[in-house]
């Protein structure tokens, strides 16, 4: 059995639970309410699309490239905010964005389920002073995913 199956099952459950909730949100809620990073729900969901996409690439690279592997960390130096701005998630069609979030994460689950467990100790250079193993990368995804869903939950329930 894949050592990450429990995490995969949780991600799948959250995708199922959240898809209809997200699609039912009003334009005001998804656009105007902002978290402590000044991100709207649209932008947070876009960030989760970027996270799923980047993690898919990391997982793939870490299974065939040199160890430690070197490639850009999109999340450092404010780059994740640049990704959000350049892709203009604030004005993305909401249904398209929700489905993109869903399907990039479904694909990520597929990739995780097919990871070569012999490669789990392979590392990537996430910064000048930090190496992260493939195992750590996969194990860190679910907490990140849940953190941002909790942010969305707070914004949904806030009375702004």
**How many Å apart are CA 72 and CA 126, to the nearest integer?**
8
Q: List, for residues 80-119, the tens digit of each pLDDT value.
A: 899 999 999 999 999 999 999 999 999 999 999 999 999 9
Question: Could you list the residue range(s) of the whole structural domain that residue 87 is in?
Answer: 5-157
Query: Percentage of residues in the chain with pLDDT exceeding 90?
Result: 85
Q: Which residues contact 9 (CB under 8 A, 6 or more apart)?
A: none
**What tokens does 89 get?**
């998630």
We report the CATH number of the domain holding residue 59 as: 1.20.120.450
Closest of 108, 137, 97 to residue 10, by C-alpha: 108
Report residue 160's pLDDT band, with 50, 70 and 90 as the boundaries: low
Report residue 77's pLDDT band, with 50, 70 and 90 as the boundaries: low
**How many Å apart are CA 62 and CA 11, to the nearest integer?**
21
Q: Which residues contact 114 (CB under 8 A, 6 or more apart)?
A: none
- This model's pTM is above 0.85: yes
In whole numbers, what is the pLDDT of the chain averaged over residues? 94
State how many domains the chain has.
Answer: 1
């Amino acid at each position: 059995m894949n050592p990450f199956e429990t995490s995969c099952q949780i991600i799948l459950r959250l995708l199922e639970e959240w898809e209809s909730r997200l699609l039912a949100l009003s334009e005001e809620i998804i656009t105007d309410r902002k978290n402590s990073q000044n991100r709207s729900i649209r932008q947070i969901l876009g960030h989760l699309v970027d996270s799923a996409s980047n993690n898919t690439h990391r997982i793939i690279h870490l299974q065939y490239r040199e160890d430690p592997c070197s490639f850009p960390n999109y999340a450092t130096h404010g780059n994740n905010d640049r990704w959000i701005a350049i892709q203009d998630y604030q004005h993305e069609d909401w249904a398209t964005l929700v489905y993109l979030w869903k399907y990039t994460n479904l694909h990520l689950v597929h990739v995780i389920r097919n990871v070569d467990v012999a490669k789990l100790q392979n590392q990537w250079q996430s910064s000048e002073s930090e190496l992260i193993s493939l195992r750590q990368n996969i194990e860190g995804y679910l907490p990140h995913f849940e953190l941002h869903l909790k942010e969305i939950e707070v914004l949904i329930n806030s009375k702004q």
